[in-house]
Amino acid sequence: MNSFWNGKRRYIALLLFLAGVFVALEVPPVIPFIQLPGENLPAGYNIPFTDMRITNTLVAAVIVWLLLLLFLVYIARRRPSDGSEVPPGGFYNMFEALFEGLMGFIGGIAGGPHFRLIFNMFMTIFLIVLLSNWMSLVPGIDTVGFIHAHTKEKFDPETQEYKVITTDGFEIYQGFLGISYVNGQCNWISPADEAAADDRAMAAALAARAAAEQDALVEAAYARYQAEHDDHGDEAPGETADDAHADDDHATEPVETDEAAAAYDEVLAARSAEKQARRDRGCYTGVAVSSWEDGYEPAEKDAKKAPIPLHPDPSSDDAKRVPWVVLPLVRVASTDLNMTLTLALIAVVMVQVVGVRALGISYFTKFFNFSTLFKSPLGGIDVAVGLLELIGDFAKVLSFSFRLLGAMFAGAILLFVMSFLVPILPWPFFILEFFVGAIQALVFALLTAIFMQLATISHHHDDEHDHAEAH
């Protein structure tokens, strides 16, 4: 069985690569709607026994915890029961080597009586952040979910009414088994924007016709001037200049010429070709018939003034009149500030816990050191340093949370954009994100371990020694 898979893996990889190329060519990629907070799932998806809506980042966090639980069960079942048993190969050996390497690495930093607590905290945070970060590499994450009409209600103080405001989005189409798909080839264009584009095309056509007519008038006037100049010596004795220019009263009247009609038609034809190109791509929004196109019906003009639906049925005709975006079912948890802030708070709280366990109540003297305030000239400096330490611990919460959030949110946007720009070969950026996710997980967990180790070290004796030297 192993020899079979060893010989066929290259063909499976080649088949998957060709399938990716085919999908990239046939299904245009779509940049999802990007926002910083996690999106609420549709109505009905609430946390059990509460009115709180489930977010797609919470779904990702739950998946991470379930994966960790399954991973622990797998490791517990594969672990040898004693030293005489031969350890299994494959993934277990790789994880055991990684585990022992990290244990030795942390042991060199935080060895001592609190090593077990520090290492357990390090490994827990490392695995949680690592799985959360790597989830962005899984197909379907951030791309499969609910089709969402991208509209919102806005209160108009002038009319004292709520109006439906549309934003950017795409058109949708019904695919296999009635599943709706976002059409990446059709950016949604509102009826108002389409009407404005038609008006601009009409204004440009009229301007082109007027310019052509003006050019025709100038050429005609120049031709008459040339004829008059050439025939000036042949004028009859009784003819005057006024008689020669008696017919110039019509020189400023516009004259319809073939060039003017062609310029007018050319502009409108370009606009019609633009709209036809959208029709050819299967786009239906923004292709309403204009007044200067054949087949215009007043009823269609009135229909465009109908109220925009807030929650249209994707399979109805009203779906053509609003923009659509994908509301992902699962979004990477580490791109949500709630998740990174929670991990940061847990890490900083555990720093204080291990400090109290190691030093007792005297641990807090590093924040509130008033013992030398009236004993030494440097007592005021000790108080100020303690307050800076307290501020520094609060700053750790911000640095932990925003460092991870910024790196992973920027990485997710990078994958979106590069998959849109280079849909066939985005692999280098996925490899980059693979290593960035691992590095960010290691940095987060390693800083937690370092701060926990520093919290177990007492500087009280050193402070007394420094004060004695000062005296």
What residues contact residue 341 under an 8 Å CB cut-off, 6+ apart? 397, 401
* HEC-encoded secondary structure of 289-306: CCCCCCCCCHHHHHHCCC
Same domain assignment for residues 318 and 352: no
180 lies in some domain: no
Percent over 90 (pLDDT), the chain: 23
Pick the range with the lowest mean pLDDT from 39-53, 117-131, 325-339. 39-53
What pLDDT, on a 0 to 100 scale, did the predictor assign at position 21?
A: 80
- Looking at the predicted structure, is the pLDDT value of residue 324 above 70? yes
- Write out the two tokens for 129: 């952040």
Determine the average pLDDT of the residues in 429-435: 91
What residues make up the domain containing 256?
A: 191-324
Q: Where does a domain end: 324, 343, 359?
A: 324
- Please state, in angstroms and rounded to a whole number, the distance separating the CA atoms of residues 287 and 195: 10
pLDDT category at 403 given cuts 50, 70, 90 is: very high
217 lies in some domain: yes
Closest of 47, 32, 41, 57 to residue 341, by C-alpha: 57
Determine the average pLDDT of the residues in 130-134: 94
Same domain assignment for residues 270 and 344: no
Where is 259: in which H helix or E strand? helix 258-280
- Please state, in angstroms and rounded to a whole number, the distance separating the CA atoms of residues 323 and 36: 20
Dump pLDDT digits (tens) for 206-215: 888 888 888 7
Dump pLDDT digits (tens) for 334-345: 999 999 999 999
The whole-chain average pLDDT of the chain stands at 79
Same domain assignment for residues 200 and 311: yes
Same domain assignment for residues 242 and 361: no
pLDDT category at 289 given cuts 50, 70, 90 is: low
- Looking at the predicted structure, is the pLDDT value of residue 68 above 90? yes
Pick the range with the lowest mean pLDDT from 17-31, 87-101, 234-248, 430-444. 234-248
- Looking at the predicted structure, is the pLDDT value of residue 303 above 50? no
- Looking at the predicted structure, is the pLDDT value of residue 239 above 70? no
183 lies in some domain: no
- Write out the two tokens for 11: 């063909």
pLDDT category at 451 given cuts 50, 70, 90 is: very high
- Write out the two tokens for 390: 């307290």
438 lies in some domain: yes
pLDDT category at 296 given cuts 50, 70, 90 is: very low
Give the three-state DSSP class for 256: coil
Pick the range with the lowest mean pLDDT from 128-142, 330-344, 370-384. 370-384
Determine the average pLDDT of the residues in 248-274: 72
Which whole-number Å values give the CA distances from 123 to 86, 118, 398, 466, in the listed order? 25, 9, 21, 37
Residues facing residue 162 across a β-bridge: 155
Query: Which residue has better confidence, 339 or 286?
Result: 339
Dump pLDDT digits (tens) for 153-197: 777 787 777 777 777 888 888 877 778 888 877 888 877 778 788
Q: Where does a domain end: 302, 324, 346?
A: 324
111 lies in some domain: yes
Same domain assignment for residues 215 and 309: yes
Same domain assignment for residues 199 and 305: yes
Same domain assignment for residues 387 and 274: no
403 lies in some domain: yes
Query: Which residue has better confidence, 70 or 26?
Result: 70
Q: Where does a domain end: 294, 324, 354?
A: 324
Q: What is the pTM of this model?
A: 0.75
Dump pLDDT digits (tens) for 214-223: 877 777 777 7
Same domain assignment for residues 33 and 102: yes
Same domain assignment for residues 400 and 309: no
Query: Which residue has better confidence, 350 or 263?
Result: 350
Work out how many domains the chain is built from and give that number: 2
Q: Dump the DSSP string for 165-177.
A: EE-S-EEEEE-GG
Same domain assignment for residues 388 and 371: yes
Determine the average pLDDT of the residues in 25-31: 73
What residues contact residue 338 under an 8 Å CB cut-off, 6+ apart? 38, 57
pLDDT category at 298 given cuts 50, 70, 90 is: very low
Same domain assignment for residues 313 and 202: yes
Which phi and psi angles does 367 have, rounded to 5°? -95, -40
- Please state, in angstroms and rounded to a whole number, the distance separating the CA atoms of residues 406 and 365: 34
Report whether 425 contacts 20 (CB < 8 A).
no
1 lies in some domain: no
Q: Which range is most confident: 87-91, 114-118, 187-191, 246-250?
A: 114-118
Same domain assignment for residues 316 and 349: no
5 lies in some domain: no
What pLDDT, on a 0 to 100 scale, did the predictor assign at position 244?
A: 45
